[in-house]
Amino acid sequence: MLDIKKDEDLANLQPYLLFESGKACYIMARTSLAFAIEFAVPGLLLMQQAIENLIKALLSQNGTSWENGRRGHDFMILLNTGAEKISVFSMILDRKDMCRLLKQLMEGYNAQRYGESRHYLDRKDTMMDLFDEIVYLFVEGFMRGSPRGVKAGEPIILIVPKELQSRFSRKLKQRFEVVDALLD
């Protein structure tokens, strides 16, 4: 599994990756929450993830580390960790309405924690293989059903930043074609 904090070549990408994934989760959350009630739960989970990633992007950008484990997901702890260096954190902490929402999101997150999946963390290769296969099946099913989708036997293209391609592709067993995010 990629550990950006231990890989000096990729360490400066951490804030960017957190920021971009936070923005992507934000877009997906807003879209999900704009639909009927059946998308509320995934929308709220995406909202939580967007906020967490954006907080951690700012912490990382400012050279501030955070705890791993349960405390590493607690918005109030994360915001207080960086409040001295990052003025936007103080602004958020001063707003009771924002703090109330963040606390409610955290309560929901803690109720839906993925502790039952923890045993896979000791078998990362197995977990990643299963994750790749599950995603491949979903993506393949979607792409094959799309009017402009790929034909049987063609690889499915994934856009991955060049710096991460070797890490991403390692042990990738599915028929994905990995291309640079900045296409010519």
Strands (E), 77-175: 156-160
pLDDT of 184 strictly over 50: no
Report residue 96's pLDDT band, with 50, 70 and 90 as the boundaries: very high
pLDDT of 11 strictly over 60: yes
- Grouping H, G, I as helix, E, B as strand and the rest as coil, residue 182 is coil
> d(Cα 131, Cα 103) in Å, to the nearest integer?
30
Structural domain of 35: 4-113
Among residues 54, 86, 113, which one ends one of the domains? 113
User: In terms of domains, do 92 and 123 share one?
Assistant: no
| 125 CB neighbour count, 10 Å cutoff | 11
Domains in the chain, number: 2
pTM equals 0.65
Residues contacting 32, CB < 8 A, separation 6+: 39, 40, 42, 43, 46
Residues 183 and 165: beta-carbon distance below 8 Å = no
Q: Which two tokens stand for residue 90?
A: 């103080």
pLDDT number for residue 56: 93
User: In terms of domains, do 103 and 128 share one?
Assistant: no
User: In terms of domains, do 58 and 28 share one?
Assistant: yes
> d(Cα 179, Cα 5) in Å, to the nearest integer?
24
pLDDT of 5 strictly over 60: no
pLDDT number for residue 94: 92
User: In terms of domains, do 52 and 98 share one?
Assistant: yes
